[in-house]
Every structure is written in structure tokens, then in C-alpha cells.
Structure 1
């Protein structure tokens, strides 16, 4: 495929104005002078968005509008869910990037996404998402890096450094304890302060201190009773005072809830706009004497300072959204996919020997349309993508027959018709009208790639979000004769006509709310239409917005005629082939922003499909195309299992290269795969109830809980196999003792003793022998990825600073008073056992022996070294 580029003018933006050209000629703009030149109303205006994706401009002083874009796996541009005209590079999802254990690679990915953001005329990328995998059921787990704060923080820091090197600010999100989608806009996350500091705040701390994050996005949730967007201890205290953060704090979309409280707590920007609580409301609060104008100055100064550091005041972008498919971006996206895929099990069947193959069965609902990204705000329109079916057929060539069978249906909602199926690949022609009856002059014409269309904000210049309608028309040529199922999901009012006949009508009888479109759209309704293969029909979608919906959208789904023999055809294909490759998984309906998963089960009849295919062909490889762990009760029936994640636009080709042994699977598990959901440490405290989500497992979240309690798991944290073998030599430490302020260097010899080039991740877990306070048994404190040729050796160096041995102590400043100053009964009886309580909260070191466990995963530990911390110390610098 030849890389291409096209551009589209963003709604409401023209080319560079005379003022913009004049501003650029003036050179560097002084943020302080700009601030001093503003009126109170102008300053307040900057504290709220101008619209869905930009900040206001103040033309009087030459201050430009700054545009922002989602998201974590690509710079999407202004369209929601990638349903607009602009395309972007789609990199592997967050969990996949976490699985790379390779911050240096992720930094290069960040550079690429910074370049992509520039092509969308944006100077802020709303990423990375660094909440943690507290439960396998978290709806946005695929978007987050891992269950471990150190791994998540290191990956985030690399991502941030890369993006910001291109003059693009990042917004690490969602700050903090926003690890579930259940009641996400109202839930109260109840977390004890020690767990908060050691587990959930730690990734953000690393992102700020090591990554230099210029932006932080607050969560929708409350934290211990206070909304995150107005949490002074969180924003002004921990973020700014403890960590030295000098950037800006922005709300998640539509989450602001107060004016004075949020401003004084440390919030800078309400999005989207115009804002209800910031903007003019903040100016009114100053005039009412509720807040000082100097406090507004501080807010504006912080934002102007960031825009200045980025060079965005002089060059905010020209408003164009360009789609530039660069060959070097494809190469990097594929490398990231290869480095993320985790070989969970291999009984000698992988890599496949292409020379010995005659027939291959490629089976599964994700085999011909791999899920390359999750649902919600992370979704985008990729420059291009391929299916595993196409990639494998191309790799194997004409000499190998690759038979494909779907096996079963898995969709929560029926798949939309792709552009390739409509009007000869042109998609739908959309005519937009002012008003709700699709009458009068056509205000705008657009082309949409498929039968899912969504607008978040004005659909085009001059149209209001709740007062427009559209008509979308396209030709569909069926490939099969029989009863075709058409479905409709709507956020607003919609109907579907086939050859002029109303087939589905959501105007007259609007269906109830469902889970599509961030749980803001209706449930799916369905009807069947008898069609003849090769005979084109006209599909017409009629739509009218409705004020009850925050967004506007419609999805028409399609299912061709299928018999009950889907499963049997798959079994037959497996039986008649040299090897069966199953590509199973979820999709953007099951794993999405807006709702959590209900179980770890693969949707539909995929478990049965796997079992039957394995019975038919003992040489079966299962590729799990999900963003989170799933149950694998069929594990022992398989020869190999490969976790592909949502691997981005290059996932299919990366998968083909790994299956055929051209590349070593480079990923390691960033989250534990449990046997059952009932075994997870958060079980019983997830996703919450009665508006409260208790983090009852405390420090024992994720692998810390399984390991400390000696619970069995399906696959442990850090697990991942290679096609070659590595030997770890005896490790050495720079010193057998450790004191505050030092850095301990651990050197581990590693040699590739196999006959293939391969990848290994050296992991170090620290275990305190006699902790003063309760601590998890072992915790990841350092890791390093290496790529070695056959026979090659390297000495891996891992640095351990004081935080590798430290813990947070909440302290008890009133303890001494209670012991010594109260008199009465409290002093008349023995005090009881226990250590002396500290009076100042902070990070502390305990003197004593610590074991450094070196291995390939948490469970596969091959060496152990003892280190003596010589003296108690603390509180350490925060």
C-alpha cells in the first residue's frame, strides 16, 4: 500500500489569519506580558474551553486558540471514535505497551504520536492513561499500562518524554483512583492514604518527576469523599508541593462541579467549553469577592507558561487535520506490536515451519477483522489496517491453502457496515440540515466510511449539536442470498430505509438506553430483509438530534445470512489442516470506556469453539485478541497460546511474523492472569455499590495479593516465553550495604544459549525480611529488556535507589500525647506491644536485611542476593 496524505479543514477554522501571521512574525511571546495585558474577563475566559477540543483565542492581544486531541494509542483529531475524515497512526493499546517492558521503545512511540498530533494542528495529546489494572474486569484496562505502579510509571514517563519532545503537551490521566467505569461520574473511591501513596499515586509521581508531564487530567470520581477536580490535598498538596509539578490541571470532559472550590484546589482548565463553572463564572466570583483576581492570574500564568514552553503561542497550528501515512511510522508501530505480544504457552508447535505446511485453518471471529483498539475515546480511524487472514495468506504464499471459518458470533452489538461494502468503497454520502426534519437546503455534505456516525459537539460549522438532522445514503451489494439482519443503535432519533421502505424506526418507538457510545446510546433493535446476491439496494439512514443526548450518533449494523453450521464448519476446517490457528477475543463493545466487563469469559461460544477445534486438531494455536485477561479453562487442550492484545494497525503482520518465527515474541505480562475472577484480590470490592468503591485489598492489589497469600494463578505477572533460551549468571551488587541517598547497582549476566535471536526481560523484586509495618511479600523494583543474538552475552545493570526499599508511613502525631499526656486509665494499664509510632508522615527506610530476587517473572526467580540497609532513615524527600 502506498502511503498517502490528505487534509481536511477543521470546523470553524480557516487558514492563518492576518493576526496569526503578524503574531508569528513578532517572534517569541512573553507569557507574563500577555497576562498583564488581559482584562479580568479575558483571563477568566482562558480557564474554560472554547468548544469541545480547543481553548479560546483572544485576538485583541494575538493570543491563539490551542487545540487538543485524544488519545493514548493515536492522535485522532477532532472526530469522536475516529468516525471523521482524518486518519491517524494506530499504535498498540496501553496494556500492550505495558507488556513491552520497554520504556525506550515507548519513548520512540511517543515521538511518533507527537509528530502525528502536529498533523492534526493540536498541541495537547490527552494521554497517557496510567490508572492501574485493579481488576481484570476494568472497562478501560486495555487503555492502561499494568497492575504495577513502577512499570506503569516508567512506561508513562517514556511516552511523555517522547510526545513532549515534539512540542506537544501530555495530560497524564485520570488523577486518581479512577480504575473502574461503574458509576464513574459519581463514584467515591475510598482508599487509605498509604495504599494511595504506594500504589495508585506512584505512576503519576514517576510521570511527573521522570517524564516531566506538562498536564494532568483529573478523574470523574470522588476520592475519599472529595471530587478529584476540587481536591486541594491532591492537586495543590501532593501534585504541586510534594512533586514540584509546574504544568496545568484539566478536568475530564464535563466533570467540573464548582467554581471557587475547584479554583482554590488547583484546577486550571474546565473542558469542554463554554464552561458552566469556569470562564465567566470565575470572573463573577472575583467580582463577588469570593476569590482573588491574583488566584485567577496564577491559573492563567500556569497555562500560558506551558503554551510558551511548547512554542504554541507562536505556532498553534493552522487548523488543518492532515492524514499522513509515513512508512517509518508503520515500521515503528509494527515493532511495538511485536515487542508487546506475549507467548503464554508453547508445547513445541511454534514457530510454525512454513515449508512443511500445506493446509492451515485460520478460525475465529477475530481472524478476518482483528480488533486493533478498544472502544471509547481511545478509538480512532487508522491510516490502514489488515486482518490476520490477509497477512497470513500473504506470508505463506499461494503454495499453502489458508481456509478461514468464523466459528461463532461474539458481538455485543452487530458490526457496522464497512466502507468497502458501501458504494464501491466510497462509503455513505451524508447531507446535514439545520433543524430536526431534514428539510430545506443542505448545509453541509460529508463522506463517512461506514454505517456508524457520531458527532460530539457541532457536526459542522453553523449547526447546533441538538438542532440538526442528516440523511446518509449508500448502495449495498450483498454477497449472499437470504435473510440479512440489519440493526439500529441511536443517540437521538433514527430510522433505516432499504430501497425506500422503512425497516427500523427509532423515531416512533425509541428504544431504551444501552451500552453503546459510552453507554449514552440506545439498545439495539433488529429486523431482517431478504436480499439477493449481486443485486444492489439503497440504504438510507435518517437521523435527528435530541436534547436528551450529550452526543449525536447512529450505528446501523449488518449480519449476512448464516446457518447454524458455523461451528461445525470450523471443526471440519481444523480437522483437515496441518495446523489450526484460532484468533479469538473481544472487541470495542466488550472492552470500552463507559462500562466494565461483567465476567472474564470470552463472549459468545468462543470457549466451546476452542474446545471443539482442539479436539479436531491437536496442533492448535490460540491467539487471544483482548485487552485484558480472560478465563482459559481450555488451556491444557492447546499446544500454544499467544496474547496479542489490541495490537494497533500493524497487529496482523506482527502476528504473522511471530507465528512463522521471523520475530521473537517480545512481550511479558503486565498484569496477572488469574484462574477465576473469584480469586482476584479486589473481588468483593469491585466495581462498587451504593456510589462507593472500597479499595479493601489495600496494598495487596494485583500480583502483590496473589504472591503474599500464595494463591495460584493461570499466568504470573512478568511471564512470557521466547523461541530461544537464556541463562542468567550469578548476579553481583555494587555493595552489600545500603544507606539513604545511595544507588545500588545490580549486575546480572545474561546469555542467549539457544539458536535464535531472542528477547529477555530481567526483573528484580525486593523482599524485606523483617518489615516494621506490613508490606507485600515482594515488589517489582527494577527491570531491563535485552535483545540478544545466539551465543551473545550481556551484563544487565539494574539501579535500585532508596525508593526501592522504602515504604509510606501515615504516622500518628497524636500517639505521644495519648501515651504521656492523658493520665487516668490510659496510663494506669500496660501500653501493650507494638512499635513506636512516627509523628510525621512520609517515606521511610527500615534497617535490616532485604532479598533481591532476580528472574524472568515473579514466579520464575532464578537468583537471590542479600543487601543490608544499615540504618533507619526518613522521612525521605518526597
Structure 2
């Protein structure tokens, strides 16, 4: 369908134009159907396409977390992942994907650190550009976010990121700038926070002067969800679309601002035009409007998911060449141990979470890989490290026996006296519910997925299911609510959250704390009735601007005595040829909404690792986390892998690396420090680092590996580090002369000196030897992933430009590359420099823009 923007805009009334400037519910734009303007659909990324439902949505493919994809250093893989996400958007009738995230990882404590690609702006920006190009090749808009300096979750709506313009330009704006230079994102999302005292959503300097005028961004700017705090100011600054709907800061407020001449019709036209420009692209894509949502599950997609999982795994140590495990390894038995082995932690928490179409746990992946070699695999938990009790999803069935899951019923009025209190009569003599549904999950985030034509926001609900444990013993049940209510086990009250419940982090910090209770004597294979009765009245009063029906989270775990679990794991490790320890964090520890307090592995993890390492020197440690953690036992561990959150195929990806089907080639996308105090942003970060509503970016441009180098601190593992089953040799570095425009080529040779085919990530760092102000010792400015057969050599060429030489001069308000000598360093990591050469810039260069 042909869609003429200016002709359509001219036909719209002022009220209709204003309507376009805010969302319709959580995931749609407002339509003006009488003028052929349908509602565009959007969906959360960045590692999957959830669709339009938090609750009971269509299952989706989950790719590795962005730190994992960044660790691949693979532009082609990032593009392919983008294409797959674009195809899933099309299947779900989605026109706008809310990703990628490119906020620089200022600290590994950041709750959303796993959502961004790297601590380095070059890696961050170039991987993002490939991802964007892949998504948009399918006619789907990518949305690069969160612009800008949105680097912590503490007070994220109000905190001011107080940062020098130089650091802002070189570190925090740079990945956005590079992504715009190497791709053309059709949308951008402004961040929640302030920058130097001004909220980004009303920051004309950032959104208009830099983004639109200086960089030439032509796309739509939307707010983060409930991230608009003004009317005239946000519209003047350039935020086209307030999300979600219904509007809070626009609508009638815009009409009043027009009457007061704080805004003019031309301002409304400018914003509405951007919405229509994106709509024009949506029409051109051929993606239908208001389409039914479908999943995607093909052999080709599963292959890509598995490749992405394996290629995001970093081999940190392999001192005794224990890996790969092959038929020549003389291994007959394997002990799989650890709290992350039996669960598939596919992604971090918050808006990145989705309902996976399927998952493969590390235990299942290892079992499948071992089966090919006829190896015996046994499992032991070793330690519990969950922050919240594990969900019940695998172990629940409907009361009527018709299938997996639970029944959720809703009433607009209490269906019985004392329904959601401790005095509840547990008979089924309740009034008929106004609406019900089944669900396969025990974490019900009721932001959507409820029939709002029948169920009022202020409602009562009952969640009932049958829990069937795998093992006999005492179980600890837990309940968390957005609202108030109680949990009943076999018609007996066991958890009271109706009498002054303690507040907690659940539901954006407005739900209750998790309450736990132990129930002894459960028998394996026997079903037990669980029932939650609740109302969300108190919760709804707290969050009137976010329409929802509250929610609940129900968990359970078998109670194990910590010392007994440790002993069982250590005894198993002693009795087997090889032990594979799978430990780490999960989506409850790393999530949107809160930051981590420290870099420690939870619970008794470190005791478990140390004990197993002592019991069996042939132990492989697999750590799973979205960001850095500390390993106090690292010197005792000969074999260590970093797995990140690996998506659907996490388990198979780990197994492919362990058993040699895939030669690891990933490199760390962020530094792993020895201790929290070594992190460059320490202590000016998070709740303990804030100064009356602001965070001082005291480290300036010395973020990530730059900070370790300038302070001469040795990290546990440096940025860009990663081993392979192959070995590589670098030679013959040559650099062309720098052209008048600042372009030059770095050429060198890489040889695979092993008898194993492999891939190497060659990294190009630049050092300004004659800078007029303090600069990092070296900065990543290019990289190339090279596949080499055993014994093969290949010449590598990497083109660089003035971006590789310049810094931002705050005095002049422009970029400058000063004439003089620069060192070109080529290596296998930020600390492992293999080759060095010098180039001369004959004349200084200055510029603005891309």
C-alpha cells in the first residue's frame, strides 16, 4: 500500500496528531483508522522476541545474552542473529524490535550489564551495527537503546549520571555513534536517567543537537517505558513517542501546552511525522497489522541457536589440556555437579526474559554428548545458590489431570468471605469466576494476557495446581505477590502474605518479599494440591500508571543439608574420571530493576568448587553469568570455561565445546577483576556510590580495561582474552600511510600452528604516543575473526580511519587527531600484544559528526 506522509499529515486534526505521540497499551502505537493509520506492534528484545504478552505469550527463540554475543567478536554471527530475530518478529506480526542495548558496562555490578555487548565502545558499536543490519534486512525496525549513560539500576528513573563531555563522547555515546555510522537504525529509545542534571527525555543537547543535527539520525525516538517526565520539554527535545499507553504526559497535557504556546503545531507535526515515517517502513515491510502471533522453530534456526551458544563460550584455562573430551581422553565416567547444571538459565532477568520455545540444560547437553562416547554420567547438586526458590514449572499439572500447568481464575468481587485472608474457608463453594485461563508457568506477571473486557484491574484471583516432586523429602515452598494473599498446601494455610507482608524486589520493587516455609514428608511421584488465593487491591493503588492485574511467583525446592550436599558432590567427584562443575548466577541475581551488591558467587559455590577441585584434579569448571564474577579458587582450577547465558541451546553449546565438536573461539567482552575494589568505577557506583541523587563518573575515559592499564592493575582475566584448542602465530605487521582523510590499513599474517582447525580473534589497538592530554595506554579500534585450518596461514587486512586516532577536545567541542606518531598493536587480547608498528599522522585532523 502506498503511504504518503505529508498528504496524510495534512489531513489529520490536531487531536489526531497528538494521539500519534503516545502508545496504545504496552506494545502498540495509537491508530487513526479513518486516515489509514494502523497500530504498529513492538516487542522486547534484545536476545529474543517475546511478542505482546508477558503472561501466557507465544513461545520464542532465546539467543545468548548480549555479553555472550559480544564475546564471539563475530560480525557475521551478529548479523545472522539479527536476521533470525527479524524473522521471528515477522512471525509475531511485530514491526519494531526493542533492541539492541549498547550501554557501556561501566561496572559488572549493573543489573542489566548482560544486555549490552561489551565494556568497549568499538566492540559494542560494531556488533550492534551488524545486529541492526540483520534485523532490518527483514523489514523490521531495530531500536537502539538506552540513550545514554543508563548504566545502573539504582534510582534509575531519577539518578543523574554526572560525566565529563569527553568521557560521554568517547565512551558512552561512542557505541551509539558507531552503530549509526555502520547501520541505519530506524528507532532509538531514550533512557530513564538524567545526564548532568537533565533527564535525557527532555535533553535537547543530546537528542537534537548531537543525535539529530550532528549525527544526522533520521529515525523515531521513543521513550523507555514510563520514561517521559514532561510534556512540552520532551516534545521540544525530540521524543516522538511516549511509551507505554495510555498517555500520562501527553494527550490533554499537549492541548494545554498548545493553548499556553509552550508548544506550537509545528512541534506536533515534527513528532507526528517521525511516527508516520516509521509507519511507512512498516507498510513497505509487508508485515500485517494486528496479526496473530506465531512462533518459529526450524532445523536451521535450532542450528543457529546452537552455534551462537557455543561461539559465545570463552575458554579461560586449559592448563592440563583436559579439554576437549574425546575418545582419546581415556574417560569412562563423568560427574556433573553444580546448581546451574540441572536448570537452563537462558538469559538474565527483567524485560530480557521470555518464554523459551524449548531449552536444553547443561546436564542434558552433557548427557547427550557423553552418550556418543559411551560415557557414564552421574549428577549431584553440591550446593544451592538460588536467590529465589526455583519455579515449579516442570512439576505442575492441572487439577483435572488434563495436562501440564495450572488454572488461574479471576473475580471482580470477593468470591467468598475471607477469600484472600488467613480465615479463608477452603471449600470450592465460590461464586463463578468472571474469567479463567490455564498457564504452564508459576511466575505470573499479569501486566497483560488477561481479558480486560471481563476482569477489572482491581480483582481477586486463584491459582491452583498439582505439584509432583521428582524426589522424596522435605520441600521448601515460597510465595511472592504483587498484592496480598496466601498459599495453601493440601487445603492447609502454609504462607500468609495477607497480614502486613514485607515489601520486596518483586514487581519493580512494589511486590512482597519472598516468604518460605518447609513441608516435610513429600513422596516422589505423588501429587499435592497447591492453591494461591489473592487480591491485588493494594498493589494496583501503588502503580496506577502501569495497567496490570498484579501477579504471583510460586517456587519450591527440595531441602538439602548443605554439608550433606557438599559431601555427596565431593564423593561423586572422587569416584569418576572427570568432574564437570556448572556454577554461576541466574536471572534472579542479574536482572533489570536492581544491581548486584558484590562480585561473589552465591551461597556455598566457592566451597563446592574448592572441595571438588581437591577431590578430583581432572575437574572442569563452567561458570555461567552475564557479567564478571570473582573466582577465589582460580589458581587451583586447571580448566575453566565462561558460558554467559546461552539461550535455548545453552546445554548443547556447552557440550559441543567440552566434547570438541566446536573449538572455542570467543574472547571476553568485559574484564574479570580479581576483586570489586579494582573495578575502575569503584566506589562511585550504585546505592553506595551515589551522592544525593547523582553518580560521579570519576574514572573519566578510563573505563573497563583502560582503567586497569592506567593503574597498572592486573585483572583476573583481561578484556579480549580467550583460549582455543588451537595455537596461533602472528607475524608480518605492516601499516599503510595515513591518508589526508585519516584512513589507513593494518595488515598482518596469522598462522594456525596446531593440528586442530580453529578460529582466532585478532584485535587491533591504537596508542597515541604524543598526546597532549592523558589518553588510555591502548584502545581497541578494530578486530577480525579468522578461521584457519590446521597449519594454515592467512593474511589479514583491517581498514581503520580517523576514528582510530582521535579524541574529543572539550575546548573546541570537536574531535581531533593530533599529528604525530601512533603505535599500532595487534594481539590476542588487550594484554597479549603480539605485534607492534608505528604510523605517522602528518597533519592534525578535526571533525564533527559521524
The TM-score bracket by the shorter chain reads over 0.9
Q: Which residue does the alignment assign to 2:423?
A: none
Deviations along 1:424-454, one digit per CA (max 9) or x if unpaired, are 7611122233345586443333221121111
Q: Matched residues in 1 for 2:191 and 2:13: separation?
A: 31
Q: Which residue does the alignment assign to 1:141?
A: 113
Contact conserved, 2:60 with 2:357, CA < 8 A, in 1? yes
In structure 2, relative to structure 1, the CA distance for the partners of 1:354 and 1:407 (3 Å cut) is: farther
Q: Is 1:447 paired with 2:438?
A: yes
Q: Is 1:703 paired with 2:720?
A: no
Q: Which residue does the alignment assign to 2:819?
A: 847
In structure 2, relative to structure 1, the CA distance for the partners of 1:33 and 1:307 (3 Å cut) is: same
Q: Which residue does the alignment assign to 2:513?
A: 523
Deviations along 1:196-254, one digit per CA (max 9) or x if unpaired, are 00110001111222121111111110000000100000001100001100011111111
Q: Matched residues in 2 for 1:494 and 1:97: separation?
A: 41
Q: Matched residues in 1 for 2:164 and 2:456: separation?
A: 42
Deviations along 1:486-512, one digit per CA (max 9) or x if unpaired, are 1111111232122222221212x1422
Q: Which residue does the alignment assign to 2:422?
A: none
Q: Matched residues in 1 for 2:31 and 2:70: separation?
A: 37
Q: Which residue does the alignment assign to 1:414?
A: 389
Contact conserved, 1:376 with 1:518, CA < 8 A, in 2? no
Which of 46, 55, 69 is the aligned partner of 2:20?
46
Of stretches 352-361 and 608-617 in structure 1, the one that deviates more from structure 2 is 352-361
Which of 335, 346, 363 is the aligned partner of 1:361?
335
Contact conserved, 2:57 with 2:449, CA < 8 A, in 1? no
Q: Matched residues in 2 for 1:73 and 1:520: separation?
A: 26
SS at match of 1:653: helix
Q: Which residue does the alignment assign to 2:492?
A: 501
Which of 220, 227, 242 is the aligned partner of 1:255?
227
Q: Matched residues in 1 for 2:508 and 2:574: separation?
A: 41
Deviations along 1:83-129, one digit per CA (max 9) or x if unpaired, are 42410000000100110111221011001001111122111111111
Of stretches 142-151 and 682-691 in structure 1, the one that deviates more from structure 2 is 682-691
SS at match of 2:525: coil
Q: Which residue does the alignment assign to 1:8?
A: none
Contact conserved, 1:66 with 1:312, CA < 8 A, in 2? no
Shift of 1:876: 4.9
Shift of 1:623: 0.3
In structure 2, relative to structure 1, the CA distance for the partners of 1:572 and 1:458 (3 Å cut) is: closer
Contact conserved, 2:477 with 2:554, CA < 8 A, in 1? yes
In structure 2, relative to structure 1, the CA distance for the partners of 1:338 and 1:278 (3 Å cut) is: same
Shift of 1:271: 0.6
What root-mean-square deviation, in Å, do the aligned CA atoms of Structure 1 and Structure 2 show?
1.7
Q: Matched residues in 2 for 1:269 and 1:316: separation?
A: 21
Shift of 1:313: 8.8
In structure 2, relative to structure 1, the CA distance for the partners of 1:615 and 1:387 (3 Å cut) is: same
Of stretches 649-658 and 518-527 in structure 1, the one that deviates more from structure 2 is 518-527
Q: Is 1:286 paired with 2:262?
A: no
Q: Which residue does the alignment assign to 2:425?
A: none
Which of 546, 554, 557 is the aligned partner of 1:556?
554
Q: Matched residues in 1 for 2:261 and 2:588: separation?
A: 48
Q: Matched residues in 1 for 2:94 and 2:205: separation?
A: 31
Q: Is 1:571 paired with 2:549?
A: no
Q: Matched residues in 2 for 1:395 and 1:313: separation?
A: 41
Q: Matched residues in 1 for 2:134 and 2:153: separation?
A: 29
Shift of 1:460: 2.2
Segments of 5+ residues of structure 2 without an aligned counterpart are: 420-429
In structure 2, relative to structure 1, the CA distance for the partners of 1:170 and 1:417 (3 Å cut) is: same
In structure 2, relative to structure 1, the CA distance for the partners of 1:641 and 1:387 (3 Å cut) is: same
In structure 2, relative to structure 1, the CA distance for the partners of 1:158 and 1:313 (3 Å cut) is: closer
Q: Which residue does the alignment assign to 1:649?
A: 648
SS at match of 1:329: helix
Deviations along 1:518-576, one digit per CA (max 9) or x if unpaired, are 33321111122233333322112223223224551101110124234111000001011
Q: Matched residues in 2 for 1:794 and 1:752: separation?
A: 9
Which of 185, 205, 208 is the aligned partner of 1:233?
205
Contact conserved, 2:411 with 2:459, CA < 8 A, in 1? yes
Q: Is 1:329 paired with 2:301?
A: yes
In structure 2, relative to structure 1, the CA distance for the partners of 1:638 and 1:252 (3 Å cut) is: same
Shift of 1:186: 1.1
Q: Matched residues in 2 for 1:232 and 1:90: separation?
A: 36
| Runs of 4 or more consecutive aligned structure 1 residues displaced over 6 Å after TM superposition | none
SS at match of 1:774: coil
Q: Matched residues in 2 for 1:772 and 1:561: separation?
A: 62
Q: Which residue does the alignment assign to 2:85?
A: 113
Q: Matched residues in 1 for 2:282 and 2:730: separation?
A: 44
Q: Which residue does the alignment assign to 1:405?
A: 380
Q: Which residue does the alignment assign to 1:492?
A: 483
Q: Is 1:349 paired with 2:322?
A: yes
Q: Which residue does the alignment assign to 1:712?
A: 714
Contact conserved, 1:64 with 1:316, CA < 8 A, in 2? no
Contact conserved, 1:674 with 1:714, CA < 8 A, in 2? yes
Q: Matched residues in 1 for 2:360 and 2:668: separation?
A: 25
Q: Is 1:512 paired with 2:512?
A: no
SS at match of 1:731: strand
Q: Matched residues in 2 for 1:380 and 1:517: separation?
A: 16
Q: Which residue does the alignment assign to 1:791?
A: 791
Q: Which residue does the alignment assign to 1:217?
A: 189
Q: Matched residues in 1 for 2:192 and 2:414: separation?
A: 32
Of stretches 277-286 and 60-69 in structure 1, the one that deviates more from structure 2 is 277-286
Q: Which residue does the alignment assign to 2:684?
A: 685
Contact conserved, 1:376 with 1:517, CA < 8 A, in 2? no
Q: Is 1:201 paired with 2:173?
A: yes
In structure 2, relative to structure 1, the CA distance for the partners of 1:465 and 1:567 (3 Å cut) is: farther
Q: Is 1:544 paired with 2:535?
A: yes
Contact conserved, 2:395 with 2:468, CA < 8 A, in 1? no
Q: Within 5 A, what are the aligned runs for 1:568-607? A: 568-607=567-606
Q: Matched residues in 2 for 1:626 and 1:877: separation?
A: 37
Contact conserved, 1:251 with 1:269, CA < 8 A, in 2? yes
Deviations along 1:834-860, one digit per CA (max 9) or x if unpaired, are xxxxxx310011111100001101111
Q: Is 1:32 paired with 2:3?
A: no
Deviations along 1:325-383, one digit per CA (max 9) or x if unpaired, are 12211111111112111001111111112452211110000011131110000000111
Q: Matched residues in 1 for 2:94 and 2:200: separation?
A: 26
Normalising by structure 1, what TM-score? 0.91
Q: Matched residues in 2 for 1:312 and 1:64: separation?
A: 13
Contact conserved, 1:103 with 1:154, CA < 8 A, in 2? yes
Normalising by structure 2, what TM-score? 0.94
Shift of 1:457: 4.5
Deviations along 1:122-170, one digit per CA (max 9) or x if unpaired, are 1111111110111111111111111000100001101111111111112
Q: Matched residues in 1 for 2:271 and 2:286: separation?
A: 20
Q: Matched residues in 2 for 1:748 and 1:324: separation?
A: 42
Deviations along 1:575-601, one digit per CA (max 9) or x if unpaired, are 111011100011111000011111110
Contact conserved, 2:435 with 2:454, CA < 8 A, in 1? no
Q: Which residue does the alignment assign to 1:824?
A: none
Q: Which residue does the alignment assign to 1:633?
A: 632
Q: Matched residues in 1 for 2:561 and 2:729: separation?
A: 52
Contact conserved, 2:50 with 2:59, CA < 8 A, in 1? yes
Q: Matched residues in 2 for 1:695 and 1:463: separation?
A: 50
Of stretches 347-356 and 666-675 in structure 1, the one that deviates more from structure 2 is 347-356
SS at match of 1:729: strand
SS at match of 1:730: strand
Q: Which residue does the alignment assign to 1:4?
A: none
Which of 427, 430, 440 is the aligned partner of 2:405?
427
SS at match of 1:597: coil
Contact conserved, 2:765 with 2:824, CA < 8 A, in 1? yes
Q: Which residue does the alignment assign to 1:61?
A: 35
Contact conserved, 2:412 with 2:456, CA < 8 A, in 1? no
Which of 40, 45, 48 is the aligned partner of 1:74?
48
Q: Matched residues in 1 for 2:135 and 2:92: separation?
A: 14
Q: Is 1:377 paired with 2:351?
A: yes
